[in-house]
């Protein structure tokens, strides 16, 4: 992690930004506790928690036994008693043992007790494909959680947004699933001021303005989406690019306003096509923007198939060319 002398500014990757945000939260709030497998001495398998146990001690950066359901259950119990647990599930493919605690308890505690208790926990999990990992290490199952009332599902796509969104997630009184796109953990560096300032969890981020077509995505696929916008711009096609960031509850208004302006929309998701967040966005565009649409909404997605093992992984992932092709289809006749 590069650091300017005598300043609070860092040149960081996404995973380093996560580390900075965790460090900041641990410093600012004595109730914040990190827990998970291999997060202490080892600093996490992706090094997201590197150095934190050394600096904050084993009581605040807790290496747990290997049991995801227990990690989530502990977090629920801690959160109801005034702590702010930030749990790591090592890979999202292993979150299903914790699914019951997240869905049946964390998401419901406030409603079940009519506001007497709440569950301000964060569960961080690296997700998505593209790192040539074994089975169960590459899936994108964010829609399963986006479907659950009471949960917030947040996905950063850059170092600065990872830092700001994670700080807000930790401060948020609701349970937050914070999904980290591990393919871009170390893809780019960004200049980041460690200001302790969060970014809002209730808005999409418009990364590029344009009048011809709206490109909507989140997580690692933002990278290909921005590349597509760049290449289309060379041909004079101006894309508006939206990073959804918080996929649930969804800030639909930002998307709607953009599509009302451009009349065209491509939604890019790495997850399978059926029943995904892209489906929800398309449905809502159909409900509210039909008269503004100049072409059918297009989805660029993974397949309705199990995530392949590494040798065929590239066949599954949405590519920049796929996004460009979809954009050109909607622009036919322009």
Partner 1 sequence: MSTPVPSSIEKPRYVAPPPLVYIEPSGKSNRDLPAQIDFDWLRQAYQHMSLIRALDKKAVALQRTGQMRTYPSCLGQEAVGIGTGMAMMDADVYVPYYRDQATLYLRGVQLKQILQLWGGDERGHLFDGAAKKDLPICVPIATQLTQAAGAAVALKSKGVKGAVVTSCGDGATSRGDFYEALNVAGLWQLPLVTVINNNQWAISVPRQMQSGTPTLAQKAVAAGIEGIQVDGNDVVAVFDAVNHALQKARSGKGPTLIEAITYRLGDHTTADDATRYRSASEVSDAWQREPIKRLQTWLHDHDAWDATREQSLHGEIKQQIERAVADYLAIEPAPVDDILRYQYADMTPALEQQRTWLLQRHGG
List, in order, residues 6 or more apart from 29 with CB less than 8 Å away.
84, 170
Q: What angle do CA 84, 30, 101 make, to 5 degrees?
A: 15
Helix (H) or strand (E) run with residue 54 in it: helix 52-56
Residue number, 44 or 85, with CB nearest to partner 1: 85
The answer to the question of residue 124 lying near partner 1 (CB under 8 A) is: no
Closest CB 259 distance from partner 1, rounded Å: 17
Residue by residue, what is the 3-state secondary structure of 252-319?
HHHHHHHHHHHCCEEEECCCCCCCCHHHHHHHHHHHHCHHHCCCCCEEECCCCCCCCCHHHHHHHCCC
The answer to the question of residue 111 lying near partner 1 (CB under 8 A) is: yes
By CB under 8 A, name the one of 85, 129, 159, 198 that touches partner 1. Answer: 85
Distance CA 145, CA 147 (A): 5
Distance CA 196, CA 206 (A): 22
223 is catalytic: no
The answer to the question of residue 110 lying near partner 1 (CB under 8 A) is: yes
Residue number, 130 or 198, with CB nearest to partner 1: 198
The answer to the question of residue 105 lying near partner 1 (CB under 8 A) is: yes
By CB under 8 A, name the one of 249, 295, 322, 328 that touches partner 1. Answer: 249
By CB under 8 A, name the one of 173, 200, 275, 296 that touches partner 1. Answer: 173
List, in order, residues 6 or more apart from 306 with CB less than 8 Å away.
none
The answer to the question of residue 253 lying near partner 1 (CB under 8 A) is: yes
Residue number, 72 or 89, with CB nearest to partner 1: 72
Distance CA 214, CA 256 (A): 10
Place of tokens 């939260």: 25
The answer to the question of residue 36 lying near partner 1 (CB under 8 A) is: no
Q: Total number of residues binding partner 1 (CB under 8 A)?
A: 46
The footprint of partner 1 (CB under 8 A) covers 33, 59, 64-65, 67, 69-70, 72-83, 85, 100-101, 104-105, 109-118, 149-150, 152, 172-174, 202, 249-253
Which residues does the annotation mark as catalytic? Answer: 137
């Amino acid at each position: 992690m590069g650091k300017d002398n005598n300043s609070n500014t860092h040149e960081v990757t996404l995973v380093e930004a996560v580390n900075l945000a965790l460090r900041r939260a641990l410093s600012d709030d004595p109730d914040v506790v990190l827990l998970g497998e291999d997060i202490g001495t080892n600093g996490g398998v992706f090094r997201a928690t590197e150095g934190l146990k050394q600096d904050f001690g084993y009581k605040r950066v807790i290496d747990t036994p290997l049991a995801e359901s227990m990690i989530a259950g502990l977090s629920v119990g801690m959160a109801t008693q005034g702590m702010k647990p930030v749990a790591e599930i090592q890979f999202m493919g292993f979150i299903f043992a914790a699914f019951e605690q997240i869905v049946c308890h964390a998401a419901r505690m406030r409603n079940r007790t009519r506001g007497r208790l709440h569950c301000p926990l964060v569960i961080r999990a690296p997700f998505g494909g593209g790192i040539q990992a074994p089975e169960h290490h590459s899936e994108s199952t964010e829609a399963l959680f986006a479907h659950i009332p009471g949960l917030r599902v947040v996905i950063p796509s850059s170092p600065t947004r990872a830092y700001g969104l994670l700080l807000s997630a930790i401060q948020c009184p609701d349970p937050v699933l914070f999904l980290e796109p591990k393919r871009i953990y170390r893809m780019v560096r960004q200049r980041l001021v460690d200001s302790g300032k969060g970014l809002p969890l209730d808005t999409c981020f418009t990364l590029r303005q344009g009048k011809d077509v709206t490109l909507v995505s989140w997580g690692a696929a933002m990278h290909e989406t921005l590349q597509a916008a760049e290449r289309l711009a060379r041909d004079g096609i101006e894309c508006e690019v939206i990073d959804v960031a918080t996929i649930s509850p969804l800030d639909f208004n930002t998307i709607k306003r953009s599509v009302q302006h451009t009349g065209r929309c491509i939604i890019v998701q790495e997850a399978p096509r059926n029943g995904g967040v892209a489906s929800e966005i398309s449905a809502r565009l159909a409900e509210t923007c039909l008269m503004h649409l100049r072409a059918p909404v297009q989805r660029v997605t993974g397949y309705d198939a199990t995530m392949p093992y590494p040798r065929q992984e590239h066949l599954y992932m949405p590519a920049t060319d796929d996004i460009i092709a979809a954009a050109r289809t909607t622009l036919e006749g322009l």
